[in-house]
């Protein structure tokens, strides 16, 4: 009987397959499924009310507006999806199985990251579709007031900032590996920190000069408007991005690679 394992016929699990499985894991649980439903439901409800209002008031309607509202609403919840992609492996202990099937953990984490970005794209597409559908209704009712103008710059800008938010949530999740803690910390990072930085900047001129290098959210505001110009703004973006995305992700990754999985 052979004492060795014949591995010649076995190839590595391809990365694409890992990504597909990770995408599937995002919606195959009750929690993940309902989160996705909630995102879509919120968008539909808000847009629905907006639609009713604009029709009742006979206001002009822009596809731009509908898509913008949809995307904005989604932007609150999408990073939570990214967080859960990472933390639920730990809280549910399925990491035991995941890392047995693919012992190179860095590949699994990268697959999760790619899945998170793909989810951003998918959600954006859904926002576009929903926006189009609602604009269509307006078109049918009040064609003179309906405009199909859609600013490509806005969409692209939105995609970039959303992806960065997703990665931000993802990085925090790998660092903490705990769902509630990551969610809370992410909310602080995204919504509270900018205010704190603003306050600090107003009291201290020293901080005011340092802030742009630290405040990632502020640095991103120019992306949305596509008014990034000059080396300075790019530099601020890259450095603060490094601080808030790359560093936590690197630490989190190191932690996952070395953790003992029980």
Partner 1 sequence: MSATTAPMAMDLSSTPQVPMSRLALVEARKALDTRAGRWLIVGILGLVLVIEVIYSFAADNDAKGLQDYIQIPGFTLGYFLPIVIIMLVTSEASQRNGLVTFTLEPKRSRIVLAKFIAGIGLALSVMVLAVVLAVLGTLLGLVTGGDSSWHVDGGLLFYALFLSNMIGIFIGFALSMLIMNTAGAIVAYFVYTLILPTAVAILSSLSSTFEDIAPWIEFNTAQAPLVSSPYSPAGEEWAQIATSGAIWLLLPLVLGIWRLLRIEFK
Partner 2 sequence: MIKVEGLTRKYGAFTAVDDVSFVCQPGRVTGFLGPNGAGKTTTMRVMVGLTPPTSGRVTIGGHLYHDIPNPGMHVGVLLDASAQHAGRTGREILTIGARTMGLPDSRVDEMLALVSLDQTEAKRRLRNYSLGMKQRLGIAHALLGDPSVLILDEPANGLDPAGIRWMRGLLKGYADRGGTVLLSSHLLHEVEQIADEMILIGRGKIVAEGTKDQLLAGAEHKASLVTALDNDQLSKVLADKGVPFTAAGAGLRVEAPPVDLGRLSVEHGVVLTDLRSADGGLEDLFLALTEDTQRDDLSSAVPAAATEGAQA
Partner from partner 1, partner 2, none binding residue 217, C-beta < 5-8 Å depending on class:
none
In this complex, which beta carbon is closest to partner 1, that of residue 72 or of residue 213?
A: 72
Q: Choose, by CB under 8 A, the member of 33, 191, 234, 254 that binds partner 1.
A: 191
In degrees and rounded to multiples of 5, residue 61 shows phi and psi of -125, 135
Q: In 3-state terms, what secondary structure has residue 146?
A: strand
DSSP conformation class of 14: P
Contacts of 103-109 with C-beta under 8 Å, sequence gap 24+, read: 105/256, 105/257, 106/253, 106/257, 107/13, 107/15, 107/18, 108/18, 108/22, 109/174, 109/253, 109/256
137: Cβ contacts below 8 Å, ≥ 6 apart: 51
Strand partners, 61: 146
Q: With contacts defined by CB under 8 A, name the span among 4-12, 142-150, 172-180, 228-236 that binds partner 2.
A: 4-12
* CB-CB contact of 162 with 78 (8 Å): yes
Q: Choose, by CB under 8 A, the member of 3, 140, 144, 231 that binds partner 2.
A: 3
By CB under 8 A, is residue 204 in contact with partner 1? yes
Measured in residues, the chain has a length of: 262
From residue 72 to residue 101, what is the string marking binding to partner 2 with x (rule CB under 8 A)?
A: ----------------x---xxxxxx-xxx
By CB under 8 A, is residue 187 in contact with partner 1? yes
Partner from partner 2, partner 1, none binding residue 179, C-beta < 5-8 Å depending on class:
partner 1
Provide, rounded to whole angstroms, the least separation between the CB of residue 170 and partner 1: 15
12: Cβ contacts below 8 Å, ≥ 6 apart: none
Residues 68-107 that bind partner 1 (CB under 8 A): 69, 72-73, 76-77, 80, 84, 87-88, 91
In this complex, which beta carbon is closest to partner 1, that of residue 43 or of residue 150?
A: 43
Spatial distance between the Cα atoms of 176 and 251, rounded to a whole number of angstroms: 10
Q: With contacts defined by CB under 8 A, name the span among 2-10, 170-178, 232-240, 241-249 that binds partner 2.
A: 2-10
- Candidates 43, 65, 44; CA nearest to 54 is 65
In this complex, which beta carbon is closest to partner 2, that of residue 13 or of residue 210?
A: 13
Residues 104-123 that bind partner 2 (CB under 8 A): 104
* CB-CB contact of 256 with 174 (8 Å): yes
DSSP conformation class of 244: I
Spatial distance between the Cα atoms of 204 and 209, rounded to a whole number of angstroms: 9
Residues that bind partner 1 (CB under 8 A): 31, 34-35, 38, 42, 46, 49-50, 53-54, 56-57, 59, 69, 72-73, 76-77, 80, 84, 87-88, 91, 178-181, 183-184, 187, 191, 196, 199-200, 202-204
Residues that bind partner 2 (CB under 8 A): 1-7, 10-14, 17-18, 20-21, 24-25, 28-32, 88, 92-97, 99-104, 258, 260-262
């Amino acid at each position: 009987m052979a004492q060795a394992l014949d591995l010649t016929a076995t190839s590595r699990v391809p990365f694409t397959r890992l990504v597909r499985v990770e995408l599937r894991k995002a919606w195959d649980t009750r929690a993940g499924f309902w989160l996705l439903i909630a995102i879509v439901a919120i968008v539909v409800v808000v847009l629905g009310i907006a639609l009713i209002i604009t029709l009742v008031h006979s206001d002009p309607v822009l596809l731009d507006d509908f898509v913008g509202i949809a995307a904005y609403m989604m932007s609150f919840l999408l990073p939570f999806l990214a967080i859960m992609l990472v933390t639920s492996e730990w809280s549910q202990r399925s990491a035991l199985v995941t890392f047995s099937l693919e012992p190179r953990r860095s590949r699994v984490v990268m697959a999760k990251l790619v899945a998170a970005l793909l989810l951003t794209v998918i959600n954006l597409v859904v926002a576009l579709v929903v926006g189009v559908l609602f604009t269509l209704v307006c078109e049918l009712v009040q064609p003179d007031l309906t405009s199909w103008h859609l600013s490509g710059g806005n969409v692209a800008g939105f995609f970039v900032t959303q992806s960065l938010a997703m990665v931000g949530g993802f990085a925090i999740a790998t660092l903490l590996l705990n769902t509630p803690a990551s969610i809370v910390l992410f909310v602080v990072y995204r919504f509270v920190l900018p205010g704190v930085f603003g306050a600090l900047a107003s009291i201290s001129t020293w901080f005011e000069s340092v802030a742009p290098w630290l405040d990632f959210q502020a640095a991103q505001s120019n992306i949305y408007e596509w008014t990034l110009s000059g080396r300075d703004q790019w530099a601020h973006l890259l450095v603060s991005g490094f601080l808030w995305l790359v560093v936590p992700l690197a630490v989190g990754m190191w932690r996952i690679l070395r953790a003992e999985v029980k």
